[in-house]
Amino acid sequence: MKIFLIFLIFFVLIQANRDESEAIAQAMCEVIDKSHKNENWVLNLIIFGEESDNLKDIANELIKRMDKSKPLIINHIEKSQEIKLNNSAIILSKSVTYLNNFHKIVHIDENQRENLNFYVYFEYFGKDILSVRPTIKSDDGFLIHYEYLFLNFEKVVGLNKFDLFSKKFCNDLHVSIINGFNKQLMTWIRKLEIDRKYENFYGCQMIFGHALNSVYYHYTRNYSGEIVHFGIIPLMIDAVSKVANHSYVYVQNKAYINENKRLKVLREMSDLQIRHSIIHKDNKITDLPILDGTELIFIITPGELYTIYEKLFLPFDELTWILLCFTFTTAFIVIFTLKFLKIVRISIYGKEVKNPTLNVVSIFFGNSLIEIPTRNIPRFILILFIWFCLMFRTCYQSKLFEFMTSEMRRPEIQTIDELFERNYTVYTDELNCHTFNQIYNWPKSKLIFLPHGKNHKTPSTIMNLLSNFNTTSERQAVIIGSGFLLFYEKYFETKFKVLKEPLLTSGVVLSIGINNFYSHIFYKTLRELMQSGIPYHFTKMHKEIYFKLVNEKEEKEPKVLTLDDLDFGFFIWFPFIGISIIVFILELIIFKLTKKSFRKMKPAKVHPMVIDENQANDKFETLESILFLCDENPQEYTFKIFFKN
């Protein structure tokens, strides 16, 4: 019974492996038939390196399923062998490492270059992925395009060939894109427009990788914590995904510092890597970047700390302080002027207020008032001024607490030109020597090239310099790659001050090498871009993105309140003061008119009237009633009131 079960399990495994091989072979046949439909061609079947059982099964299934009228030439190649190809080929390999030696082993017929396609299956990567391999340039200048086919074998999907790699479509795309680009340049930059000449991906998901801190791609987190991607590369990916009808996911390498303070990078698998051009010296695979660039940043020594007295003036900006000084200066001038105008003084801050200057100071500091006016207009002005001072006093006190509890430093420099105008000593790795000779004519005495360390990622000289960088009193700057900033901050457990302006080598910031499939479409277009000076546009665009990132990081520090933040207070104060002045002028005019009418009236007769206590209680409830009566009709009655006792 046990022997039967073992035999059954073995049979099931063989059958599962055979089903998998049949699915792969079937998918490859569908792709090949669709690509070369109605064409007479000869196809090579190349098996690289060690031939596993799975590869043998796939090869046998391909031989069975291929159209007999289209011959299939089988080649088994070891590392030391070479082969000359005149036809398209199916390549089966156990490991992806054989691809690095492909240009050495396979020689392409020069007359057949534009008509050849290669279909590659690597057993090493596994299943459930569709991956489009970037193109690789061989020594003889031929661009070889690969296509990986990986399937989810629970539900076999017939994957169509990505027509982007067909030379026939590429030629048409070149012409249409160049013509469209010349007509509407800025539209292409903001939103990539490509003709619908892709095959349907059947909803498959493509995983895009990218270089960290690349000069043409950035990401940041919004207020809800979600990662937001922006730059040229996300625009291109989004445009292609809509046309090709597939979803995409961003994958980035994660780095961390281990216990020994060593940088460890966790690399995640992606179907398509969009990155800078890379040169492999060992196997002579060289990319030809059309637009290439490197981003370098300046770490500068922090400025001097603000003193306690200087922090008293930091909560508001200069314009706000000027308006506040103007407001209080105007108040004191008005008080001093009204000292000589009795009637106007009574109308503005009341007859009861003997010390208006003390009132203004008390309101500003939030103290209680001893003298309060009784008239309506003075009270209205007083309420406005109390509200105005309360708002500014609260904002000032809250911001002053933030500034007092944080270490604020003076922002000494913002640009590269200021760096050398203020005689900073700039240190950089000797590998960056060629960069500065091309762009800046910097004084050699202020530019020091440090010897390169053994470890390229952690140069010893740079590390030693940064160890006491934040404590030195000298004006120094260190130029590093933007990708190393996070590593240095974690290594030294401190934050470094970064110059807002980055250094873009050769004035070029967009790097799309021939080693990715975008360059195959835009090769001629990007060549024209480089010749027409469009890289300057990318440089300008990148600087705006970089400044935005730097400013977002600086918002974590206490923010200085500007007039834009406090304009509501001034908006309420000044218009209502204007309204109060208008009302006062009207009241003054009315007062003048009524005063003239008093002069024209005949003096009234005085009726002496003696009222004792009992009569006062009978006729009037209080003395105020009598005065109120007199105040209502001053033209009709004039009393002299005498009280007994």
pLDDT tens digits for 419-441? Answer: 878 888 888 776 565 445 434 45
Predicted confidence at residue 62, as pLDDT, reads: 77
Has residue 37 got a pLDDT over 50?
Answer: yes
What pLDDT band is residue 102 in, cutting at 50, 70 and 90? low
Has residue 166 got a pLDDT over 60?
Answer: no
Which amino acid type is present at position 41?
W
Q: What is the mean pLDDT of the chain?
A: 58
CB count within 10 Å of CB 190 equals 9
Q: E-assigned strands of 407-535?
A: 425-429, 447-450, 476-481, 497-498, 503-504
Predicted confidence at residue 476, as pLDDT, reads: 84
Predicted confidence at residue 17, as pLDDT, reads: 52
Please report the sign of the dihedral spanned by the C-alpha atoms of residue 429, residue 433, residue 434, residue 437.
Answer: positive
Predicted confidence at residue 447, as pLDDT, reads: 76
Q: Are 218 and 175 within 8 A, CB to CB?
A: no
Has residue 44 got a pLDDT over 50?
Answer: yes
Predicted confidence at residue 156, as pLDDT, reads: 25
Has residue 520 got a pLDDT over 50?
Answer: no
Predicted confidence at residue 507, as pLDDT, reads: 31
What would the DSSP string read from start to end of 586-623?
HHHHHHHHHHHHHHHSPPPPPEEEEE-HHHHHHH-SSH
Q: Quote the CA–CA distance of 615 and 624 in Å, as a whole number.
A: 15
Token pair of 179 as six digits: 């013509």
Predicted confidence at residue 506, as pLDDT, reads: 35
Token pair of 287 as six digits: 């990319």
Has residue 358 got a pLDDT over 60?
Answer: yes
Of 48, 244, 43, 61, nearest to 159 by C-alpha is 244
Please report the sign of the dihedral spanned by the C-alpha atoms of residue 86, residue 90, residue 94, residue 99.
Answer: positive
Looking at 136-140, 295-299, 458-462, which range is the least confident one? 136-140
* Strands 205-210 and 476-481, sheet pairing: unpaired
Predicted confidence at residue 544, as pLDDT, reads: 52
What pLDDT band is residue 630 in, cutting at 50, 70 and 90? very low
Has residue 57 got a pLDDT over 60?
Answer: yes
Looking at 72-86, 332-346, 396-410, 595-609, which range is the least confident one? 595-609
Report the greatest alpha carbon distance in the chain.
Answer: 141
Token pair of 66 as six digits: 């291929």
What pLDDT band is residue 95 in, cutting at 50, 70 and 90? low
Predicted confidence at residue 97, as pLDDT, reads: 53
Has residue 359 got a pLDDT over 70?
Answer: yes
Instruction: Report which secondary-structure segment, H or E, holds 570.
Output: helix 563-600
Of 135, 168, 162, 130, nearest to 149 by C-alpha is 130
Which amino acid type is present at position 487?
F
Instruction: Quick: pLDDT tens for 479-499.
Output: 877 667 777 777 787 778 888
Predicted confidence at residue 103, as pLDDT, reads: 53
Quote the radius of gyration of the chain (alpha carbons, Å). Answer: 42
CB count within 10 Å of CB 131 equals 20
Q: Which CATH architecture has domain 2-161?
A: 3-Layer(aba) Sandwich (3.40)
Cross-strand bridge partners of residue 122:
93
Mean pLDDT of 269-292: 37
Q: Provide, rounded to the nearest whole percent, the portion of the chain with pLDDT above 90.
A: 0
What pLDDT band is residue 524 in, cutting at 50, 70 and 90? very low
Instruction: Quick: pLDDT tens for 189-239.
Output: 444 343 333 333 334 444 555 544 344 455 555 545 566 665 555 655 565
Cross-strand bridge partners of residue 265:
255
